[in-house]
Amino acid sequence: MTFSMKRLLAIFNKDYKDLTRNLYVSFTLLVPLVLAAVFGRQGIDSIDLYYMVFNMALCLVAAYIQCSLIAEEKEKNTLRGLMLSPASTMEILVGKGLLSFVTTILVIGISAYFLGYMPENLLIVSLGIILSTVFYIALGTALGLVTRSVMEASVIIMPFVFIFSFGTSLSVLAEKYPILQAADYLPNSQLIMIAKEVEMGTGLAELWSHFGIIGLWVIGMALITMVIYRKRMVD
């Protein structure tokens, strides 16, 4: 299989231009930013709250933008033209993923600034956020492959926003319902654990299990995406 950086960047540039003119989708970028600004003004200092905003950004930006970028190409029949060109599906998906990635990192960075969040170890936290972003982009890609319109994408993303943004609060109820302890293993919970440990001065070497679990989510999601891709795109 051939892979061309030029074609990948062409898709990236096109999607970037298109996204800046797409009010409906780019509006969702504002949700985490506004939340961050509001919390920041109130001077709230809580890792749980910071990461609620970050996890929301991961869902609404990484997953949702990726999903709607793909869904819209199908809805408007523009995917046909791309598929008939030398661009491979991989180049198309990765080009979009790159845009979702850059946007997510920007939104989280600006949110952190608004919130006044300065982690003890920026490198470890960044690694955790980058790995999580990859997971959410894979999720968005899988959802984008199964949805046919931006409307559908907006609906299908909702349960994921619920589980992954607010899922961490589920573990509070875990004493009553032990099954909810599983929520601790969600990637968002793991990311918060990393952040909390970092504040206590824990080093990378002792955090490998958290990274490992997020890594497993990435691999699992990537596999699911591959299977859907094979089923949906090769007809």
Partner 1 sequence: MESIIEVKSLAKLFSNQAALENVSFSVKKGETFGFLGPSGSGKTTTIKILTAQLVPTDGEAYVFGVPTSKLKNPEMRKKIGVLTDNSGLYARLSVFDNLKLYCDLYDVPYSRIDEVLEMVNMAGERKKVISKLSRGMLQRVTLARAFLHKPELLFLDEPTSALDPVNTRHIYRGLERLKEEGTTIFLTTHDMNEAEELCDRVAFLNKGKIQLLDSPLALRRKFADHTVTVELSGGEKEVIDMGPAGAKALHEYMSENKVTSIYSNEPTLGDIFVEVTGRKLS
78 near partner 1, rule: CB under 8 A? yes
**Should residue 126 be labelled a site residue for partner 1 when binding is judged by CB under 8 A?**
no
Which residue type sits at 101? F
Min. distance of Cβ 207 from partner 1 in angstroms? Answer: 41
| Cα-based torsion angle of the residue sequence 165, 166, 170, 172 in order, rounded to the nearest 10 degrees | 110
Pick the closer one to partner 1 by CB: 175 or 235.
Answer: 235
Count of CB atoms within 10 A of residue 213's CB?
Answer: 19
Residue closer to partner 1, measured from CB, 57 or 91: 91
| Cα gap 203→205, rounded to integer Å | 6
Q: Which of 38, 40, 51, 80 binds partner 1 (CB under 8 A)?
A: 80
Q: Per CB under 8 A, does 197 bind partner 1?
A: no
Q: Map residues 12-31 to x or -, x wherever contact with partner 1 holds by CB under 8 A.
A: -xx--xx--xx---------
Subset of 153-172 contacting partner 1 (CB under 8 A): none
Q: Which stretch binds partner 1 (CB under 8 A): 38-46, 60-68, 73-81, 177-185?
A: 73-81
Interaction of residue 178 with partner 1, rule CB under 8 A: no
Cα–Cα dist 110/211, whole Å: 24
How many alpha carbons fall within 13 Å on the CB side of residue 9? 3
Cβ-in-10-Å burial (0-12, 13-18, 19+) of 208 comes to exposed
Q: Output the CA torsion sign for 222, 36, 195, 203.
A: positive
Which residues 82-121 are close enough to bind partner 1 by CB under 8 A?
Answer: 82-88
Stretch that binds partner 1, among 2-10, 114-122, 180-188, 195-203 (CB under 8 A): 2-10
End-to-end CA distance of the chain: 18
Residues that bind partner 1 (CB under 8 A): 2, 4, 6-7, 9-11, 13-14, 17-18, 21-22, 76-78, 80-88, 235
